[in-house]
Every structure is written in C-alpha cells, then in structure tokens.
Amino acid sequence: MAIDPGARSANPTMDAKSLYREEIYTDRAVGTLRVLTPVTADGAPDPARRTVYTGEAQLMTTMGPLPISFEVPGTGLAEVVANYAEAAKEGVAHAMRELAEMRRQASSSIVIPQGGALPLGGGKIQMP
C-alpha cells in the first residue's frame, strides 16, 4: 500500500479513486489483521477492487521490538485468519533477509580518512 516517495508532491491530496475503509481485528495475543475494504468517494463499497488483508506482528530484537507487516492471502476473514501463521512466518523470514542484507552492506562499506589518503607515519583518529 506504500506509494513511491517520488510520486508525492509538495501539496498532499487524497486520491478519491483509491480510498479504503480500514478495520482492525486482533486476538490480543499473537497479532493483528488489518482489513482494507475499497470504497468509492461517497463511502460505498467498491466491488471493482479487491479487499486487502495485512497482518502485523513484532519481532523481538536486542534493540527492542521490530514491527513486521505482511500481506495475508485469502478472500474472507476466516480464510485470512487460517492463513495468518504461514504469512507471518514468510513476513519474518523476509525481514530477516533484509536485515542480513543491511548488515552485509554496512560491513562492506569502505571508510576513507579525511583528506583521501593515509598519512605515511601514522595518523590521528578523527571521529565524524
């Protein structure tokens, strides 16, 4: 549901053709489901677009909880509830792959000393 940041303008306006009504369901133990029902500009259901179901969970890390969002497949609430566990596993696995990639990129970044070259007799450590 996120939009491209480049598509945003300095004057934020809502797109009346892309409206959704949001409902939240939770079991207060494992997670949360958001049901995004497409609606027309007057609030009536829009049968031309599909309902979107997203799940939310938290992954506990040493830095605290990391929120995870993922789409849950299904055509009705009962089916989506049944599919929640598998979608959550896939969402967490995807988040773990992204974290591993971010760590890899951070560890492979090259730090160039100020001035662009290493001094010949040693140098002073400078903190940015």
Q: Examine residue 66 and state whether it is found in any structural domain, yes or no.
A: yes
Q: How many domains does the chain have?
A: 1
How far apart (Å, rounded) are the C-alpha atoms in residues 39 and 47? 8
> What average pLDDT does the structure give for the chain?
85
Q: Examine residue 107 and state whether it is found in any structural domain, yes or no.
A: no
How far apart (Å, rounded) are the C-alpha atoms in residues 102 and 123? 30
Domain ranges, residue 86: 16-101
pTM, to two decimals:
0.69
Per residue in 56-86, pLDDT (tens digit) is: 988 888 888 889 999 999 999 999 999 999 9
